[in-house]
Chain A
Amino acid sequence: MSATLLPADRVVRGRRLPEMLAGIVVVLTVLLALVGPMLVPQDPLAQDLLALNEAPDAAHWLGTDHLGRDVLARLASGARLTLLVGAGGAALAFLLGAGVGLLALAFGGPARVLVFAAFDLLRALPGILLAMLLVAALSPGPLSVMLALGLTYAPMVAEVARATHARESAADYIAAARSFGLSRLAVLGRHLLPNLTGVLLTFAAIILPRCIVTESVLSFLGLGGTPELPSWGRMIADAGGFAEEAPHAVLAPVLALSVFTLALSILGERLRAASDPLRDGAP
């Protein structure tokens, strides 16, 4: 509310700058993941035992790590895996939480009780423990981590789906649609869904950075990426033991990860604030 007391242009400029920077960071990182591995001539896995822990120079723009591998090439291929697994986990969480959750809500009865009991159970089991169990049962790797991310964040999405579904279901237009004799699925698909997607997609933007952070934590603990598939978390774990000899090899993935998730969070928060009618500083 206090923002309205400031001159209008200051509000706009003060609010847009972080978001513009965040947007640039996100675009650059996505570009790094998409075309980076093609542009960087070095092989992310090729070891050069004559050039260990070298500081950045013309041949290796970000230097080499403790096995003489090119840090920039690894950063680019790591971006690909980190983004893929993080976004895949968020998509899975969305599909399970919103998809299965809304279907269960539409059908009601035992399906609803059962599905939400399962979400309750998943919520009670801290994500890191769930990931350890899944990785033990399957095997360490990107797919197990994606599944763990999906199962960890699905209950949060389902909770939002339940709250918005309850709010919209009370509206007159839904009662009208029901009174025409439309089936539950038709009410859900034609009338509820268009009004729920905005809120749910905003929430997806909020959980995306969390998924990427969790993916990195799991990879850092050795549950995610394998040596052949470097993800940023794995790179940090690998290079962490050589922080004294080659700080650049640790700092590159640490900074890339932190700045990228920070940028995603700023954009997600902005999206949430813009779609929330009770946002602070609303005119």
Chain B
Amino acid sequence: MTRAIGWAAPPLRALALILAISMIAFFCIRAVPGDVVDVLAAQGDLTAAQQAEMRQAMGLNASPIVQFLTWGGRALHGEFGNSLRFGKPVGELFLNALPATLHLGLLAFAIGLGLALTLALGALAAPRSPLPLLVQAVNIWSIAVPTFCIGIAGILIFSIWLGWLPAIGHLGLPAAILGIDIAGQLVKPLHDELRQAQAAPHVRTARAKGLHPLRIGLFHLLPTAMPVLLALSSVVLAGVLGGTLTLEVLFGLPGVGSLALNAMHGRDWPLLQATIVFLAAGVVLINAAAELLHRLLDPRPRR
């Protein structure tokens, strides 16, 4: 019984969070002074009577709760409204922008994970080399140095001074910058966990058998550290999201971040609201999946 509750809890929690986030997004956007009709009225001439009529027709006179329920009901059918500036359904705009964001995010994540694993295992295998110091350095670097600063410096060096890369529209530099950032968040907890795992009896046995340190690291230590990586996923995911959105804007990639920011500056509220709800829902669902996977990989009862 309790096990069933344990398995059902993350999805239910995710649903509750998505609902709550949708409500927050809805009411924050409704709190913006001026509504759609004001925007349209500013663009074309509308008399006060026409404006009142439009408000009635769009349901803007109803109470906020009723408006939210109406929006939620439509959202469940996949209708999130139309963009004010582009006139297209916001879902379509979001899906058009998503591949660019996913490319950058996934590439950066792969680089970050690879770098973190290499560094952590390397530092473990050679504790007297400069590698453990590098683990610390990458960790502090990722906390302290904003990705967009490195991005600007990178553009200045590689695109303007050396002329090796186009200034905008390419993926390599932003992915590398974000990858190092992700590696910095992962590598220290991973290294700590691996060092603790070294004391386990099965690792001593493996060492006594004379196995190569790399083999011990990969096949005996790393599996015990996997749950840590999953536990970190929510922090890393938020970092990837923030970093991707910023770097997209900096490197002129047509992704979700550019979409949301343009919606924000262009006062395209339906688009902004939907983009935020979609992104937040994605983060919440991935975190719930990571929690379930964590439970599967690490059956020990939670502390």
Q: Name A's B-contacting residues (CB within 8 A).
A: 2, 120-121, 123-129, 132-137, 209-210, 213, 216-217, 220-223, 236, 240, 243-244, 247, 250-251, 254, 257-258, 261-262, 264-266, 269
Give the 3 A-B residue pairs with the shortest CB-CB distance, closest first: A265-B144, A137-B28, A137-B31
List the B side residues contacting A251 at CB < 8 Å. Answer: 153, 156
Interface centre among A120, A135, A221, by most chain B C-beta atoms within 10 angstroms, is A221
Whether B225 is near chain A, meaning CB under 8 Å from some CB there, is no
- The answer to whether B156 and A127 have CB atoms under 8 Å apart is no
List the B side residues contacting A247 at CB < 8 Å. Answer: 156, 160
- The answer to whether B28 and A133 have CB atoms under 8 Å apart is yes
- The answer to whether B238 and A220 have CB atoms under 8 Å apart is no
- The answer to whether B24 and A213 have CB atoms under 8 Å apart is no
List the B side residues contacting A257 at CB < 8 Å. Answer: 146, 149
- The answer to whether A258 and B25 have CB atoms under 8 Å apart is no
Whether B32 is near chain A, meaning CB under 8 Å from some CB there, is yes
**Which one, B21, B31, B143, B237, contacts A125 given CB within 8 A?**
B21
Contacting A at CB under 8 A, from B119-138, are 127-128
Contact flag A266-B140 (CB < 8 Å), given A125-B21, A217-B146, A250-B152: yes
Whether B287 is near chain A, meaning CB under 8 Å from some CB there, is yes
List the B side residues contacting A128 at CB < 8 Å. Answer: 241-242, 245-246
Q: Name B's A-contacting residues (CB within 8 A).
A: 17, 20-21, 24-25, 28-29, 31-32, 127-128, 140-141, 143-146, 148-150, 152-153, 155-156, 160, 234, 237-238, 241-242, 245-246, 249-250, 260-261, 264-265, 269, 272, 276, 279-280, 283-284, 287
List the B side residues contacting A258 at CB < 8 Å. Answer: 144-146, 149-150
- The answer to whether B152 and A136 have CB atoms under 8 Å apart is no
Can you report 16 residue pairs joining A to B where beta carbons are below 8 Å apart? Answer: A124-B21, A128-B245, A129-B279, A132-B276, A133-B24, A133-B29, A135-B264, A137-B28, A137-B31, A213-B144, A213-B145, A221-B246, A247-B156, A247-B160, A250-B152, A257-B149
List the A side residues contacting B24 at CB < 8 Å. Answer: 121, 125, 133
Q: Which residue of B lies closest to A5 (CB)?
A: B128
**Which one, B145, B152, B269, B272, contacts A261 given CB within 8 A?**
B145
Shortest Cβ gap from B2 to chain A (Å): 20
Interface centre among A128, A213, A220, by most chain B C-beta atoms within 10 angstroms, is A128
List the B side residues contacting A209 at CB < 8 Å. Answer: 143-144
- The answer to whether A261 and B146 have CB atoms under 8 Å apart is yes
Q: Which residue of B lies closest to A263 (CB)?
A: B144
**Which one, B140, B241, B272, B284, contacts A124 given CB within 8 A?**
B284
Shortest Cβ gap from A272 to chain B (Å): 11
What's the Cα separation between A220 and B151 when bound, in Å? Answer: 12
List the A side residues contacting B25 at CB < 8 Å. Answer: 133
